[in-house]
Amino acid sequence: MPSFLDDLSAAFDATTVLTGAGIEPRYHTDMAGVPVAPPLAVVRPRATEDVSKLLKLCHAARVPVTTQGGMTGLVRATLPQAGEIVLSTERMNAIEEVDTGGGVVIAQTGVPLQRLQERVGQDGFMFPLDLGARGSCTIGGNISTNAGGNRVIRYGMTRDLVLGLEAVLADGTVLRGVRKYIKNNTGIDLKQLFVGTEGTLGVITRAALRIFPAPAEQQVALCALASFDEVRALLDLARTRLGGDLTAFEVMWNEYYRLTTELVKGVAAPLPANHPFYVLIESSGSDAGRIRDDMEKMLAGALEDGIILDATIASSGAAAAAIWKIRDSSVELGRALGPAGVGFDVSLAIDRMEAFAKAVNDGLKKLDKDAYAIVFGHAGDGNLHVNAKYPPTVDRTEEVSKLVYGITGDFSGSISAEHGIGLLKRPYLELSRTAEEIETMRTLKRALDPHGILNPGRIFTV
Ligand SMILES: Cc1cc2nc3c(=O)[nH]c(=O)nc-3n(C[C@H](O)[C@H](O)[C@H](O)COP(=O)(O)OP(=O)(O)OC[C@H]3O[C@@H](n4cnc5c(N)ncnc54)[C@H](O)[C@@H]3O)c2cc1C
């Protein structure tokens, strides 16, 4: 492709286009840590106009492009495939405006999530999206994957936080839709084409996002429960008694809690590890006295009614962080248990979760008597994470994936609650979406990207 690379070099300055030895391994190595072959070139635009110019060239020359944000995605979507160039958003990292009166922040696509959180925090506001990869993941990556995280029960997914977007189509057309208001019934809501579509329909360049006054008080409690029916009863009670102050409701099956508190360094067990289920509840709001009172009364009622067996409320910020650390240590637990295993991120109706977890465990035991599932997740959002573990003697990635995704399909669940499809989960898409739905996705792709240059092969093939 020398002439295309010449065109790139002529169109941009030398710091924008990297080729050959100038391409660092990080541009072709993702979270899994195994590098693939380097791309033809890495292009690092600074502004929307650069993205438009780049895509015009790629569209004309039919050169495929993979867009990279923080590369923290877990579905192998950002790894360049043969013949692709990389569009890295790392230099599009300006926070342009924090409008506290309007409750809006406007940022370029490559701003890391944590930097945005900290910037609005300086003005007493919060951007509610939060996830473990906050230091590296970017706003554009969060929008493209419709990221979830810990506070979805109160604030919704990323989709619910996007007021307006600017995006560039495959042919270089710029859609300027950075608007600062919630209500806008003026035809098709085009920004939704780019939320959760993993960069297949356009490249996001700027966004207007909702921010909220930072809560003055936060209460975190850990409860022990005897059965999943009690977990559901506690969720009903928390929703009723805490209302809009409920900001997290996280469930952990016994194996997750027991093994994390036993094996992960620096994680302590505030409650004994012999109970079947544990739930972390967080509430937050501006009236400190009421937030504390409501949590205490709600838990006292739950104890009295036999919904919970035991509970502890964090008495300080450090104690709250220690409880959250149990729930946030899934990666460390996976490492402590050894490499043989596959992680899943599925959605299910809450009334099917217990039977689902049992079916997965039973299925794993049939494959290998020493295999087992560690289950935990955002129960209030219908989202479970399953870490299937097995002895390292045989690589069972494929058969375990087929098993768990198959059971997810049988339970009418979604094979991806948060992480997207990318390349990794593409073979299983039809377990969660109908043939007609997938064909409609292809129709949209063909209309917006007729030469198929944007993230080809991610989610589905055309
Ligand atoms: C420790 C850890 C914890 C995590 N926890 C969560 C969690 O709780 N919830 C959750 O939802 N996810 C979670 N993730 C997954 C991941 O962090 C999210 O998917 C995140 O939103 C990806 O952002 P990114 O900038 O790294 O995107 P990337 O990985 O760079 O890209 C992800 C996808 O978005 C596309 N893309 C990136 N930028 C753009 C753009 N500007 N325009 C168009 N397309 C673009 C890419 O092509 C790719 O398809 C976690 C990951 C890790 C490693």
What's the pLDDT tens digit per position in 135-164?
999 999 999 999 998 899 999 999 999 999
Atom of ligand 1 nearest to the CA of 144: 34
pLDDT at 1: 66
Do residues 340 and 392 make contact, with C-beta atoms less than 8 angstroms apart?
Answer: yes
Residue ranges, CATH 3.30.70.2740, the chain: 338-435
State the DSSP code for 149.
B
Contact 145 CB / ligand 1 (< 6 Å): yes
Which parts of the chain register pLDDT below 70? Answer: 1-2
Contact 409 CB / ligand 1 (< 6 Å): no
Atom of ligand 1 nearest to the CA of 147: 11
pLDDT in tens, 245-270: 999 999 999 999 999 999 999 999 99
How far is Cα 117 from Cα 121, in angstroms, rounded to an integer? 6
CATH number of 2-88, picked from 1.10.1740.10, 3.40.640.10, 3.30.43.10, 3.90.330.10: 3.30.43.10
Residue ranges, CATH 3.30.70.2190, the chain: 217-330
Classify burial at 403, counting beta carbons within 10 Å of its beta carbon; exposed 0-12, middle 13-18, buried 19 or more. buried
Q: Residue 137 contacts by C-beta under 8 Å, 6 or more apart in sequence?
A: 69, 70, 72, 112, 113, 131, 147
Work out the mean pLDDT of the chain and round it to a whole number: 95
Test site for ligand 1: of 51, 145, 152, most ligand atoms within 8 A of the Cβ:
145
Atom of ligand 1 nearest to the CA of 67: 47
What CATH class has 95-213?
alpha beta
Specify the CATH number of the domain 338-435: 3.30.70.2740
Architecture of domain 217-330: 2-Layer Sandwich (3.30)
Do residues 237 and 301 make contact, with C-beta atoms less than 8 angstroms apart?
Answer: yes
Residue ranges, CATH 3.30.43.10, the chain: 2-88
pLDDT at 23: 97
Q: How far is ligand 1, taken at its centre, from the CA of residue 420, in Å? A: 9
- Closest CA to ligand 1's atom 9: 149
Q: What are phi and psi of 380, to 5 degrees?
A: -65, -15
